[in-house]
Amino acid sequence: MLSIRTRGKNGIYYIRGTVTLGDKHIDVKEFSSGTSDRDAAAHLMAEHETKLRHRLMFGPAAIVAQGKIADAFESYLTKAKPPCPSDVLRIGKLDGLIGDFSLREPKQAWEHFRRAYLTGHDPAGQDRYRAVFQAAINVHHDLHDLPPLRIKAIPFDNERVRFLSKEDRDRLIEAYSPHIQPIITLLAFHGPRIQTALQLPWGVEGVDMEQGSIRLNHSKNAVIRSVPMHPRVMDVLRPIWEKRGQPTKGHVFLNRLGKHYSDTRKAKIPGGNPIKNQHATACRRAEIEDFTVHDWRHHWASHCVMAGIDLITIMNMGGWKSLRMVQRYSSVSVDHMRESINRLS
């Protein structure tokens, strides 16, 4: 039983005691009711006791059921490893539209958000919102020892594999502006994501010219690996390194103004690809169609397969988190073998 008693010269009522249900009980440490009105304090005590009995009867789910979706978003934003800035923006949009929905029906809340906001969004964008929403709910569930929520993924085509012939590759590289060519050479022969390349530093944490190695910080998947530098990359980076006095720190790649490129991954509002326009111009000059900046990553992985490098090694060098992400390139090997066989006379 809970009880109330007054404390202090103002006569504020405090509540304490034990709530019991069968062989289960919850000890309630003394807390202030915030009032000197006995009836109001008694009413607050009764409400609190009812909630605790509900918790004893139904378990942790009872606490969650009484909350709102916004509670899950708060748990997600304050966890030990906070989400990336773009996901924080997504949480803000989700919270604005469905934050007041009950945690009892998360799937209904998601469907409401999808109808209210995601109509017209591409499937990949919709699925990113779904993944963030599901993650937020599950962080909250985990805090209360509840089973995870599963929302069916929104299917989208993530199997694009686009690569160039070696002749087209070299022609396209030559079509870029001189200060962009070293960046593209790195993309073509090491396959990093564009921001991984643009933020690459000199020294053991990035381009180590003394050791002839390159350490790519694939921060998307928190994988950092040092690999031997391709000779073509070494050839274009050495003159830059020597011209700058053989530095051991600082950004490798600078823009036309001699400034390092902004890291859009850390921006509150993520920006676009900083070399997108230069890439489009180079593609027009080289008469290359349907080839994006990110396709250089596909190009690199595809040519690794055609060179006989196994998928596990490609996964490790490219910073993919799972083998499933690189299995799309396995068909390239089959097509390459077929082409090689057809050359036999």
Q: Could you read off the pLDDT of 216-236 as tens digits, one per residue? A: 876 554 455 688 999 999 999
**pLDDT for res 271:** 54
* 58 or 291, greater pLDDT: 291
Q: Are residues 245 and 192 in the same domain?
A: yes
64 lies in a domain? no
Whether the pLDDT of residue 265 is over 60: the answer is: yes
Residues 121 and 38 in one domain: no
The structure's pTM equals 0.60
Same domain, 188 and 251: yes
Spell 217-252 as b/e; 16+ CB within 10 A means b: bbbeeeeeeeeebbeebbebbeebbeeeeebbeebb
Percent above pLDDT 70 for the chain: 87
Considering only 58-62, 101-105, 275-279, which range has the smallest mean pLDDT? 58-62
* Domain presence at residue 10: yes
Please indicate, yes or no, if residue 157 is contained in any of the structural domains: no
Query: Do 49 and 83 belong together in one domain?
Result: no
Q: Mark whether 256 and 279 lie in a shared domain.
A: yes
Look at residue 295 in the predicted model and tell me its pLDDT.
93
Average pLDDT for 99-109: 92
Round the average pLDDT of the chain to a whole number and report it: 86
How much is the pLDDT for 332?
79
Looking at residues 88-113, what average pLDDT do you find? 94
State how many domains the chain has: 3
Residue bearing the bigger pLDDT, 50 or 70: 70
- Assess whether 137 and 182 both reside in one domain: no
Q: Are residues 46 and 84 both part of a single domain?
A: no
Residues 6+ apart with CB under 8 A from 283: 172, 175, 289, 291
pLDDT at 269 over 50: no
Same domain, 281 and 331: yes
- pLDDT, position 212: 95
Would residue 150 count as lying in a domain? no
Query: Given pLDDT bands bounded at 50, 70 and 90, which one contains residue 275?
Result: very high
**Model pLDDT, residue 225:** 66
Alpha-carbon gap, residue 214 to 203, rounded angstroms: 9
| Residue 345 pLDDT greater than 60, yes or no | no
76 and 208 in a single domain? The answer is no
201 vs 65: which has the higher pLDDT: 201
Q: Quote the DSSP letter at residue 293.
A: S
Q: How confident is the model at residue 245 (pLDDT cuts 50, 70, 90)?
A: very high
Give the C-alpha separation, 66 to 43, whole Å. 19
Q: What confidence category does residue 163 fall into, taking pLDDT thresholds of 50, 70 and 90?
A: very high
pLDDT at 216: 87
Which pLDDT score, from 0 to 100, does residue 267 have?
Answer: 57
Mean pLDDT for 168-195 is 96
Boundaries of domain holding 28: 2-58
Same structural domain for residues 204 and 119? no
Helix segments in the chain, DSSP class H: 38-58, 60-65, 69-77, 85-98, 106-117, 123-143, 166-175, 181-190, 194-198, 231-243, 276-286, 295-306, 311-318, 330-342
Mean per-residue pLDDT for 51-73?
74
Q: What is the pLDDT of residue 273?
A: 82
Residue 242 located in a structural domain: yes
Q: Does residue 313 sit in the same domain as residue 257?
A: yes
Q: Does 239 map to a domain?
A: yes
Pairing type for strands 24-32 and 207-208 reads unpaired
pLDDT for 169 beyond 90: yes
303 within domain boundaries:
yes
Q: Which of 220, 209, 214 is nearest to 186 (CA)?
A: 214
Report yes or no on 14 lying in a domain.
Answer: yes
Report residue 335's pLDDT band, with 50, 70 and 90 as the boundaries: low
